[in-house]
Amino acid sequence: YDTKQPQYSTGDSTSFAYTSTRERIPVIITQGIDDVHRETWNLKDEEASKEGKWIISELARLKHELQHDRQITPLPDLGESDVEGYNKELEALGELKWHSAPWLYSECYMYRRISSIFQQTQKWKSYDLFARQKMSTFKSSRPAVLELAARYKEIVTELESKHTIKGAKTQEELEQAEQILFVEMAEICLWGNATDLSLLPNMSYEDIQKLQGSEARKASEKNIVVNDLDKAFKILIEAQKSGKKDRRVDIVLDNAGFELFVDLILAGYMLAAGLATTIVLHPKSIPWYVSDVLPHDFAQLINALADPQSFYMALSDDEKHAGKTATPLTDSEVSNLKFLFDHWSQNHAEGQLVLRPNRFWTEGGSFWRLPKTAPSLVEDLKESELVIFKGDLNYRKLTADATWPATTPFVDALGPMGPGSGIRVLALRTCKADVVVGLPEGEDEKLRAMEGGGGDSGARKWAWGGKWAVVQFSDGKA
């Protein structure tokens, strides 16, 4: 259940694993420390404040160990089910040090270790040290959110009231129009992944907006190196035509904020168009890779849409200090956002939009292990017409974060999740790490030869920055 192909290591100087561990991860921990510091500062409860200080010292210790390439130590056993797995693997890997470890394991361990620090307290158990950042970047994506809300309302209203899409007269035309919209919504959903916080800790408001508008999306289509969306649509439309009553689509979520917003745009569209009858969303259970969705983030997003005017008018302390003022939404903007709220909360209330956490998603291994360590989750996923895996980390886990040649077929890199798994996999991934598979012969070389692509350095730099994407499908048949 593990690949024989070696995995990316934090010791390989040409890998993103190397740079990431030495430069980005310490910044992420520092931001976490700052957050807890701010929170502690405002506390009146003495016990909580004492614990806050202890958390800060533990986070600082973790950062020190990492930066000074100390040995990775076992997680404290607080009775949680996943600790044994982490610690057994650590033992099997021998004396593991931060700067020469399998990147997938060591990075997951880092977030898991942070979680265990909070678990050792009384007052901070459910605290999310990244929550502040998640909500503030969602706020910064206001122009794109408003643009999408207007478009969504138009499409969904037409589908629900007239059971059609503008201009489509025959069944065939309707199907074509549905396909075009599916591709559009899925690509919006794909590029929503380019703005995650772990990769872009210092991104400005302008940068975020540039990545999110409809113009940017159109221009980005040529940056999807492999695009299997047509295959995925075919699966959904064929299931619909077969007359099957219950047709489920799963989304293994990635980031909160804007990305979750566009995931819901795609989910809501599939429900309205009858391409699915239920959508199951899989969030994480502990603060993960900075911006990943926790159940609480879903609730917060819905709450923001319930009263969008208050959400956008409320200023954070930082914004007040910077002398910022908020511009009120227009009536039609409020009404479009409320439309989203009504649609999604109705979907949720009627059981068509379900949140289903599982501790498997925050284990330290790849998805090659799914059949062995989480057999009931596999059985559950087999019930789905299509399982969409969002984002970079999910892609790394699907492909075991191994050093495959770029022309390795996607289905081969999936291992036990590939042929014969009975699971239809669709990866929607903007590339933010080293591993890439399923490329046509010569494509990797071509991209490396472009400016900033890595050239002859041995590093696949083109795949590090979220500029390029792959959309890959596997039908899970034997």
Cα separation, 53 vs 127, whole angstroms: 14
Q: Considering CB distances under 5 to 8 angstroms, the limit depending on partner class, which of ligand F6P, Mg ion, none binds residue 199?
A: ligand F6P
Q: Considering CB distances under 5 to 8 angstroms, the limit depending on partner class, which of ligand F6P, Mg ion, none binds residue 39?
A: none
Stretch that binds Mg ion, among 58-66, 250-258, 356-364, 413-421 (CB under 5 A): 250-258
Q: Please say which residue, 146 or 398, places its beta carbon nearer to ligand F6P.
A: 398
Position 199 contacts ligand F6P (CB under 6 A): yes
Tell me the CA distances in angstroms from 164 to 156, 157, 167, 170, 172, one per residue in order: 9, 10, 8, 10, 11
Ranges within 425-444 binding ligand F6P (CB under 6 A): 432-433
x/- binding map, residues 185-224, to Mg ion, per CB under 5 A? Answer: -----------x----------------------------
x/- binding map, residues 28-47, to Mg ion, per CB under 5 A? Answer: --------------------
| Minimum CB distance to ligand F6P, residue 392 (Å) | 3
Stretch that binds ligand F6P, among 147-155, 296-304, 372-380, 389-397 (CB under 6 A): 389-397
**DSSP of 392-406:** HHHHHHHTTTB---T
Sign, Cα dihedral of 290, 293, 299, 301: positive
Stretch that binds Mg ion, among 159-167, 224-232, 285-293, 342-350 (CB under 5 A): 285-293
| Minimum CB distance to ligand F6P, residue 171 (Å) | 38
Cα separation, 387 vs 248, whole angstroms: 9
Nearest to 390 by CA among 336, 469, 275: 469
Stretch that binds ligand F6P, among 142-150, 194-202, 268-276, 354-362 (CB under 6 A): 194-202
Q: Please say which residue, 236 or 437, places its beta carbon nearer to ligand F6P.
A: 437
Position 289 contacts ligand F6P (CB under 6 A): yes
Position 58 contacts ligand F6P (CB under 6 A): no
Instruction: Yes or no: say if 365 and 332 are a contact pair by the CB < 8 Å rule.
Output: no
Q: Please say which residue, 278 or 291, places its beta carbon nearer to ligand F6P.
A: 291
| Minimum CB distance to ligand F6P, residue 346 (Å) | 29
Supply φ then ψ for residue 194, to 5 degrees: -75, -10
In terms of DSSP bridges, do strands 248-252 and 353-355 run parallel, antiparallel, or are they unpaired?
unpaired
AA letter at 355: L
Q: Using CB atoms, what's the residue nearest to Mg ion?
A: 289
Position 297 contacts Mg ion (CB under 5 A): no
Contacts (Cβ under 8 Å, ≥6 apart) of 468: 223, 224, 225, 430, 431, 447, 462
Residue in 255, 278, 421, 474 binding Mg ion, rule: CB under 5 A? 255
Strand partners, 292: 255
Helix (H) or strand (E) holding 443: helix 443-449
| In 119-263, beta strands by DSSP E | 224-227, 248-252
Angle 467-472-477 (CA atoms, 0-180°, nearest 5)? 170
Contacts (Cβ under 8 Å, ≥6 apart) of 139: 311, 312
Residue in 292, 297, 333, 385 binding Mg ion, rule: CB under 5 A? 292
Position 193 contacts ligand F6P (CB under 6 A): yes
Helix (H) or strand (E) holding 18: helix 16-19
Interacting residues toward Mg ion by CB under 5 A:
196, 254-255, 289, 292
Interacting residues toward ligand F6P by CB under 6 A:
20, 107, 193, 196, 198-199, 254-255, 289, 391-393, 396, 432-433
